Structure 1
Amino acid sequence: MPDSLAINILIFVVSAVVVAFVGTRMSKVADRLADKTGLGEAIMGAVFLGGTTSLSGIVTSVTAAAGGHAELAVSNAVGGIAAQTAFLAVADLFYKESNLEHAAASIANLVQGTLLLSLLSIPILAFAGPPLSFWGVHPATLVLMAAYFAGLRLVSLSQTENMWQPRQTNETAVDKPDDAVQSRSLRKMWLKFLGYAVTIAIAGYFIAQSGVVIAAKTGLTESVVGTLLTAVSTSLPELVTTVAAVRQGALTLAVGGIIGGNCFDLMLIAFSDLAYRDGSIYEAITYRQVFLMALTGLMTGILLLGLLKRERHGIGNIGFESFLILILYVGGVASLFFKSR
């Protein structure tokens, strides 16, 4: 990467715009694939949309970790989860019929939210526990990966076993397949989806590289750059795809894509630990990253309460959980920024 601050800022901005532009188109393709494959919006959002929109974040964190920038890698991962949870509250503003969490309440989203809270506790335990590593990899990394895939199975089973389901109301959005999608080519849809994913990954690489230079040139800490710059910019696909999904009525896809993507984003810490060669990455993180994890856990808990309470309308036509999540995110990020000055 060039050494010029101005050029790196330009690269950063252009890459972020590319991520946002491509992400807009992913939601429509994902919704069609959910209907065409029969997977449903919840699984499509959690696994495919959430995973592919996280590609730029994966590249950013892994590249930063491989370069020895542990704080940037972890801050990007956890900061992205916090930003994406706040983005769900922003998407609530675009759904006028009722509170988004009321309309999109489903057992799959509740299971995913509970899984996210469980996964968040693993890096915190690794940070607070005794130093352990084998060939530079902490056992928590393997536990994190195993817990994620076990959780996905629970999400899948929750949709088929029907042990619990939300009470249907006039505002509840039901995931109904679009019959018109069946005439489309499944192969072309997957190829288009893959092309978008590769583009986002490439843009994520340039975001990571330019972010490191910006941090060095401006004197900002890696935690601030990771939380405010790289995390937010690499999370733009989630914001764009979520708002787009809400506007086209794919509410389960919107909420599932955020919560499922957040679960996947915790895998970024595991990938970063594998890429970080100066020991266990959990031993290199600071209280700032732990603060972010705790903040994210609180925001997720409030989101779950909103999905359970299912308030129809609230402040500014958004639920109490969306209002509180936005307040917590802005306050938490501001606290982290001024604390590092």
Structure 2
Amino acid sequence: MSPFLPWLKLAACAALIGFAGPRLTRYGDIIARRTGLSRSWIGLVLLSTATSLPELVTGISAVTVAGAPDIAIGDALGACIFNLAILVVLDALHRDEPMYRRIEQGHILTAGFGVILIGFVGALVLLSRETPGHRLFHVSAYTPVIVVLYVVAMRAAYVYERRAAGALPPISGSEPGTTLREAVLQYAAAAAVIFAAGAWLPFVGTELADAMGWRTSFVGTLFVAASTTLPELVVTVSAVRIGAIDMAVANLLGSNLFDVLIVAVDDVAFADGPLLAAVSPVHAVSAFAAVIMSAIFIVGLLYRPETRLRGTIGWVSVSLLMVYLLSAYAIYLHGH
């Protein structure tokens, strides 16, 4: 097989996902204004779910049809660290002052739950190979715990938003003629495009690994995860352009929570036994890298640094970028 064909397919998937991203932001913001919900809540629930659809479809397809569990887990955990790396882009787009001095400190709650969920999965990646007998039928006995933790996280975020977040003012200038029903339909159409492109990605990732002679864990963590995270990147940039930075950050952190839930869904779909017992232990590197990056984000949000490197990004963003690059290099060296 020509090595160029998988790259073309990957580019096609990325183009479809990138096209639908701005529409998610546009109509998600309209839904927020029409319903009176906060942008942070819309980003945490509505946008993060829609932008994580590629990871969901990719994971299910990888474990059921493509037979590539490493791509499924690499995509889910790789998307977590890629989402946190997007914060560097978000910080760079704010040339007037560091991003961490503008966003709400309520994001600490979501980031903290991200540390719990991702760290739990990282530990399971290491432990499941040693104790594969802990299962309910073909599903890991720990998978229900992941689901419960996710529900608790979303419930806590909902309660916090009701206490702290205020409603957005009604639409006055942009999109004055768009009704709530029209916004929901347009939002669903954009989500459908992302869903279709995501279903194709695991097969493209497998072809790319074969054509280039790369390990599937590396391809899943880097290339497939980068492609399935394109909606988060596009939505982030689009949200900044309309002045909804908190919606952008909430989307990234909420996507991390949903990506961990996808691991539980993939485990149910994987018929050959507990999923985490069948994947490379190197995926724990991605999980723990995401935990470290989440902790760096929390420190930055509490400390609110003022200094920037030549007016571009601050030390928090530099630290996030370094952890991401080191984790990608480690997975390339030691992946299966």
TM-score w.r.t. length of structure 1: 0.91
Which residue of structure 2 aligns with residue 334 of structure 1? 329
Percent of pairs with identical residues: 27
Q: 1:261-310, CA deviations, whole angstroms, 9 ceiling, x for partnerless residues?
A: 11111111111101111110111122210011011100110011111111
Q: Distance in 2 between matches of 1:303 and 1:177?
A: 29
Which residue of structure 1 aligns with residue 5 of structure 2? 7
Which residue of structure 2 aligns with residue 36 of structure 1? 34
Q: Distance in 2 between matches of 1:70 and 1:290?
A: 14
Which residue of structure 1 aligns with residue 122 of structure 2? 124
Which residue of structure 1 aligns with residue 200 of structure 2? 206
Which residue of structure 1 aligns with residue 23 of structure 2? 25
Deviates more, 1:229-238 or 1:316-325: 316-325
Q: Distance in 1 between matches of 2:248 and 2:33?
A: 15
Among 294, 313, 328, the residue aligned to 1:318? 313
CA RMSD of aligned residues (A): 1.9
Q: 1:131-179, CA deviations, whole angstroms, 9 ceiling, x for partnerless residues?
A: 21112111221111111111111011112334xx9xxxxxxxx974343
Letter of the 1:333 partner, please give it: A
Q: Distance in 1 between matches of 2:162 and 2:180?
A: 24
Unaligned runs of 5+ in 1: 166-173
In structure 2, relative to structure 1, the CA distance for the partners of 1:38 and 1:139 (3 Å cut) is: farther
CA contact (8 A) 2:36 2:168 kept: no
Unaligned runs of 5+ in 2: none
SS in 1 for 2:139: coil
In structure 2, relative to structure 1, the CA distance for the partners of 1:63 and 1:39 (3 Å cut) is: same
Q: Distance in 2 between matches of 1:49 and 1:25?
A: 11
Among 168, 183, 191, the residue aligned to 1:189? 183
Q: Residues 1-341 of structure 1: matches in 2 within 5 Å? A: 5-66=3-64, 67-107=66-106, 109-127=107-125, 128=127, 130-131=131-132, 132-162=134-164, 176-180=168-172, 184-315=178-309, 316-340=311-335
Q: Distance in 2 between matches of 1:242 and 1:207?
A: 22
After TM superposition, the runs of 4+ consecutive aligned structure 1 residues lying more than 4 A away are: none
Which residue of structure 2 aligns with residue 168 of structure 1? none
Letter of the 2:36 partner, please give it: G
Alignment size in residue pairs:
328
Q: 1:232-265, CA deviations, whole angstroms, 9 ceiling, x for partnerless residues?
A: 0110110111011112210110110100111111
